[in-house]
Amino acid sequence: MERVRRSLRLLPLSLLIAACLPAWADDDMQPNWGLCPVGDAVPAFPETQPAPAPATDAQATDTGAANAGLVDANAGATQAPAKTGPKLTSEQRLQLPTDISGDQISGIEGSDTTFSGHVVLTRGDQFLATDHLTSNSETGNYSADGSVRYQDSGIRLVAKSAEGNQDQDTHQLDDVRYQLISRRGNGGAERAEMHGSDGKLYGSTYSTCPPDDRRWELRAKQIDIDTDSGMGVAHDATLRVGKVPVLYVPWFTFPIDNRRRTGLLYPTIGSSSRNGFDWRQPIYFNLAPNYDLTLTPRYMSDRGLQLGTEFRYLLPHGRGTLDMDYLPSDKLTDRERDEEIAQGIPEDNRRVDNRGMFRFDATQDLSDHWQARSSLVWISDPRYLEDASNNVNGLTAFRLKSTVGIFGNGRYWQAGISAERPVLADYTLAERNLPYGRLPRLFAEWEQPFGKHFVAGVDTELVRFQHNDSDLLPGGSRFDLKPYVSMPFEGDSWFATPTLAWRYTGYRLDDDLANKLGGNASPSRSLPIASFDAGMYFDRDMDVRGHGFIQTLEPRIFYLYAPYRDQTDLPLFDTRAMTFSWGSLFRDNSFTGADRQTNANQVTVALSSRFLRQSDGFEKLVLNLGQIRYFDPPQVSTNSTIPAERSQSRWVADATYAVNDRWSMNGSYQWDPTDKRQYLASFSTRYLIGEDGVANLGYRYRRDVLEQADLSFLYPINASWSLVGRYYYSFYRNPSTGDEPGLLEGIAGVQWDSCCLAVRVVARRYVQNRSGDMNNAIQFEVELKGLGSGGADTRSRLRRAILGYDRDDLYLIPPASVGVDNDALDDDAPDTLP
């Protein structure tokens, strides 16, 4: 073997191929490549070896990771590379020697040197092999022919021949086929040329499809590459779906690396009955390494011209985003004013002429323990969010919330000071439906063990409540303090924890609110709270139909004592009754917030049992049963009505059963012994169909509140075709509000999938807003995997509607825009918004 220190410039030539056409792609959707063939378009070379570590400190590139949010702003095709070994920079490669080996070597000093027979060149992560290589050290010329093969951490390619001049830094590859390694993609070029940092590709192609099944392909007659500037220019570029050209661009520029640069981003084109023809054209401005700006003019033929801006910054210890949209003289306002008046919409909730939105989200580290956060939002009118987008992903949020504060945490503590103000975003509601704002809120929590059997802590909060409609809903201030101590004891099969706390809550109320509550402007409440939580754990081995299981028996007892305090003169700022559930059996308060503290002299008796598969610990069956026995009946409520006297709570039963590894069921049931009937019943089951399919069935009943059934499925007909659907129906009839049984959401669709192309057609009927108005939509999406998609984002909608649609996500994701509080619902009243 001959060890050569000269760097052969042939190797960097392939980098322009790896960077050109794939830079158009957009992999944010994380496509499913499950239907793709196992083999690559260019198979791996058996001679390649793992690359050595870089010669320089790899940790020097940490800044790139920290700036990823800004770096990816207009890359259009960034994706984490596959773990194929260290990926070296050009500078790192130049520091490494090139090793050349071959079966035979011939030549004389100053003339041609010829390597023949299994010629292999390696440098760092780069590998080049050919049958015949000739190099002249005097002239700098070289040529390689006969099965030219090249690979690095980003690409693998084969070519018919390669030639060039080392001194002039000119290179040419003929008849090239390549396979990307750091991402999926393959293609070819009739000829590739490079002169220094400038390169050209002739007759180039790119696709993520297998070579023998080209569902889509990008073709370009010529691509000019400048690796120094990181830009490329495509000439006569065509996108083909099958054999049909669907998009032709005679000339355009595009980035070939992750460097940010000023220019046009990809436009969004759509149409709707509300907006008419809809064109958004983002314009990106690379202002500095740590901040940038995107302007998005948006033309809507039926509404006017809107300007959107997004400014982002990144500091050593913080980051932030500022979004603003402004639509002057919205034609929709005049066009639908008469309809708003006819509907009786209050004037304050109607559309205004000049419409817009402002949002600022930021975080800033102040020290190792403290951080400042903000999430500020403003909209011009409550109908803005409804009109701002033509997506059909779900209900519009009925409220937004602006928050700003400083928050800290340590090993045993957390604290903060913040302010928050709700913003109405539903034209069917009034300001009085919003919760109180907290202007400001100070809180601190501390808990620390002292030795093995003693824990001390304190929770405290000071809040000023102020409502947007202060004339109708006057506010006040509240101070809440709750110190506590506990003594945890435990063994291998038991635990016992006594806890003693004291809770003090005091107010300073506005005069109007004090007068409504009896005239006391400074009411207060203080009381001790004592609890004792204990349980045991038993288990035994058992055999069921030849399978070994461990059955556990876990009895638990929880005693709670809190004396009664009259709280009718205390306001209700942020407090509601919690939904009664299994967790309620072991809480020391049945209300959220500090405005109410339940009285208690009660004991919870509960029993749990689990069946664990001995082979892997899998939970086959879980059973929970419990009830509270009241020695003194609860007397505290969120209204002036004293709760009906009872000696016991509802029975709570929960169960989860895995029929097999594909079929699981769970249910909850609550029986009220006072009136001898059920209060709550819910049941759900999920069945996994094949490798990709899923079927879900659920039923929920809550007396005097709701009764709903939900069926959703993804049914694979074969490897390519599948059906999707959802039928979400309410059986509940509420005579007081006029609510009638009806469809909440119906989805029916079909999707076709292949290795590199997917098509989805979905029809949807759904409740559009809180008034119960129905809307219909037909969505069509074509996904060119590894490039992007066109049409509505049906995949996101289906993930939200069908539990387990992706099979790696078995948790239902609620629409992030719906601002409904579900964690604190009154047991004794229908579910209502505040």
Neighbours of 704 (CB within 10 A): 12
Q: How far is CA 403 from the centre of its chain?
A: 21
How is residue 264 written in tokens?
């046009």
CA 306/CA 281 separation, integer angstroms: 11
Neighbours of 692 (CB within 10 A): 19
* E strand segments, 316-381: 318-327, 355-365, 370-379
How is residue 746 written in tokens?
């119906």
Q: How confident is the model at residue 98 (pLDDT cuts 50, 70, 90)?
A: low
Residue 298: is its pLDDT beyond 90? yes
* pLDDT of the residue at 776: 79
* pLDDT of the residue at 779: 81
Residue 761: is its pLDDT beyond 50? yes
Q: What is the pLDDT of residues 337-372, one digit of tens each?
A: 998 899 888 898 999 999 999 999 999 999 999 999
DSSP state of 354: S
CB 425 within 8 A of CB 385: yes
CB 171 within 8 A of CB 145: no
For residues 457-478, average pLDDT:
95
Q: What 3 state SS string does 152-171 have?
A: CCCEEEEEEEEEEECCCCEE
Rg (CA), the chain: 34
Nearest to 414 by CA among 442, 438, 440, 437: 442
H or E stretch covering 401 = strand 399-409
H or E stretch covering 820 = none
CA 652/CA 19 separation, integer angstroms: 61
CA 17/CA 178 separation, integer angstroms: 8
* pLDDT of the residue at 86: 52
Burial class from Cβ neighbours inside 10 Å (0-12, 13-18, 19+) for residue 509 reads buried
For residues 132-144, average pLDDT:
82
* pLDDT of the residue at 818: 33
* pLDDT of the residue at 658: 93
CA 655/CA 708 separation, integer angstroms: 20
CA 498/CA 486 separation, integer angstroms: 6
**Which amino acid belongs to residue 783?**
E
CA 140/CA 130 separation, integer angstroms: 19
* pLDDT of the residue at 290: 92
Got the DSSP string for 755-821? SSEEEEEEEEEEE-STT--EEEEEEEEEEETTTEEEE--HHHHHHHHSTTTTSS--S----TT----
* pLDDT of the residue at 291: 93
* 402 compared with 70, residue with greater pLDDT: 402
* E strand segments, 575-676: 600-613, 619-632, 651-658, 663-672
State the pTM of this model. 0.76
Residue 195: is its pLDDT beyond 90? no
Percent of the chain with pLDDT over 90: 45
Tally of CA atoms within 13 A in the half-sphere of 471 that contains its CB: 1
Neighbours of 702 (CB within 10 A): 20
Residue 67: is its pLDDT beyond 80? no
Residue 823: is its pLDDT beyond 90? no
* 22 compared with 68, residue with greater pLDDT: 22
Nearest to 475 by CA among 463, 487, 488: 463
Q: What is the pLDDT of residues 206-253, one digit of tens each?
A: 888 988 888 888 888 888 877 677 677 878 888 888 888 888 888 877
**Beta-strand relationship, 263-264 and 283-288:** antiparallel
CA 254/CA 265 separation, integer angstroms: 9
Q: How far is CA 777 from the centre of its chain?
A: 24
Q: How confident is the model at residue 1 (pLDDT cuts 50, 70, 90)?
A: very low
What is the residue whose two structure tokens read 């999406």? Answer: 781
pLDDT averaged over the chain?
A: 82
Q: What is the pLDDT of residues 162-186, one digit of tens each?
A: 888 867 778 788 998 888 776 788 8
Q: What are phi and psi of 485, to 5 degrees?
A: -135, 150
CA 434/CA 573 separation, integer angstroms: 11
* pLDDT of the residue at 54: 39
